[in-house]
Amino acid sequence: MKIIVLKFGGTSVGTTDRIKKVAKIIAKYKKNYNVIVLSSAMSGVTNNLINLSKKISKNFSDSEYDVLVSSGEQMSCALISGELINQGFNSRSWVSWQIPINTEGKYKFSRINKINKSKILSYIKKGGIPIITGFQGINNKNRITTIGRGGTDASAIMFAKFFNAEKCIIYTDVDGVYSTDPNKLKSAKKIKIISYEEMLEMASLGAKVMQPHSIQDARLNRVDIEVRSSFTDNEGTLITKRKNIINSKIITGISNTTNDAKVTLLGVKDKPGIAASIFKPLSENSINVDMVVQNISANGKETDLTFTIKSDDLSKTKKIILQNKKINFRDLIFDKNVSKVSIIGVGMVTTPGVTYRMFQSLAKQKINIQVISTSEIKISVLIDKKNVRKAISSLHKEFKLNK
């Protein structure tokens, strides 16, 4: 039989009753597939473990952090396997080092580079259902590593790759990917099929269904993903390559951020190397700079430089800029009351006038655009946070996403 990989998120295994429902889902697939299951920790468990580490130290060891937080998945896997055994199935839980799942990179942010298949293949050939800890592996020092929050998605995708699975299904608490956040707009529609590139943009720009690095792993390894809810039997959303999609819509979805801040340096000297002098120390301190706009003065000697960062990095950014002796400026302005709204769709590549329609739609609502950035399949604008719902509603209607 073909192999299918199933991943269950924290809310899907959040209680013992939900774990019993998950076991029934697994049993249904077992009728037609050899099943490999990846599980997250029960919802809230990882956060509780992180809080314990903070009570010990503000500089808790990264390697021990990984040992600590990885224990949550071990608990949920044992409970799922125990329920399957209770239902009469041959099942057992597997911790990453028992397989092993090999990783490389730093603690807390490792990546899977190899999965040893022999033990799992031998087990499923005997009819077993392996329940495997997601989010983790072991490095070349035989130490447990984790692969970042949301990492169980990445684990499932890599299992689908290494085991050449027919399907990879991500079970979560939503029944698919929507045209925009349904909590902000009731007319949001579920997207039946979406490209890796569109999903990557949506995830990077605020959609919380999957982590961007997991989408990128799927794209690089050409693993199709279906996102479904463990709480309903509704069809989900298929994430796949562009050529598999026949879509008449120009725009596929609209995303927005909730944690952006705008930084403006006024009166910066306009000469080569100044921008690099501003952004280099930010990069060295792991501060991600996103949208950037530069306005040169009429005399050509000064410029105003505006860029966006995550609001969590605001105080650190201010300190770094003020301590930077390589730059001079007249004033430094910060604004946390901003949000980035983006339209995403592969259709805009071949359709003229999309930018005009977006800007006109916002103008009709008297929404001022502060910063603009674009890519081949995305246009993002920075606006006042209070106008986000109005902007989303207007753009959703303009590009007929409610139909």
- Read off the DSSP letter of residue 14: S
> What is the DSSP code string of 249-303?
-S--EEEE-SSEEEEEEEEEE-STTHHHHHHHHHHHTTPPP--EEEEE-TTSSEE
Residue 205 to residues 136, 179, 208: CA-CA distances in angstroms?
Answer: 26, 13, 9
> How confident is the model at residue 35, as a pLDDT?
98
Residue 233 to residues 37, 42, 171, 201: CA-CA distances in angstroms?
Answer: 19, 21, 11, 27
Q: Which has the minimum average pLDDT: 15-19, 233-237, 240-244, 257-261?
A: 240-244
Q: Tell me: domain 3-173, CATH 3.40.50.300, correct?
A: no
Reported confidence tier of residue 294, pLDDT bands at 50, 70, 90: confident
Residue 204 predicted with pLDDT over 90: no
Residue 166 predicted with pLDDT over 80: yes
Whole-angstrom distance, CA of residue 218 vs CA of residue 168: 10
Whole-angstrom distance, CA of residue 323 vs CA of residue 126: 64
User: Looking at residues 369-396, what average pLDDT do you find?
Assistant: 94
Q: What is the largest CA-CA distance in the chain?
A: 80
> How confident is the model at residue 150, as a pLDDT?
79
- Same fold flag, 3-173 and 256-398: no
**Residues whose CB is less than 8 angstroms from the CB of residue 48 and which lie 6 or more positions away in sequence, other chains included:** none
Reported confidence tier of residue 206, pLDDT bands at 50, 70, 90: low
Residue 246 predicted with pLDDT over 90: no
The CATH classification number of 256-398 equals 3.30.2130.10
Residue 265 predicted with pLDDT over 90: yes
User: Looking at residues 207-222, what average pLDDT do you find?
Assistant: 84
pLDDT in tens, 296-312: 776 667 889 999 999 98
Whole-angstrom distance, CA of residue 186 vs CA of residue 166: 34
Whole-angstrom distance, CA of residue 192 vs CA of residue 226: 10
Averaged pLDDT score across all residues of the chain:
92
Q: Which has the minimum average pLDDT: 63-72, 128-137, 140-149, 209-218?
A: 209-218
pTM, to two decimals: 0.84
- Read off the DSSP letter of residue 66: H
Locus of tokens 């990879």: 168
- Contact in structure between 339 and 368 (CB atoms under 8 Å): no
Task: Provide the residue ranges of all domains of the chain, joining segments of one domain with +.
Answer: 3-173, 256-398
- Contact in structure between 344 and 255 (CB atoms under 8 Å): yes
Locus of tokens 């502060």: 370
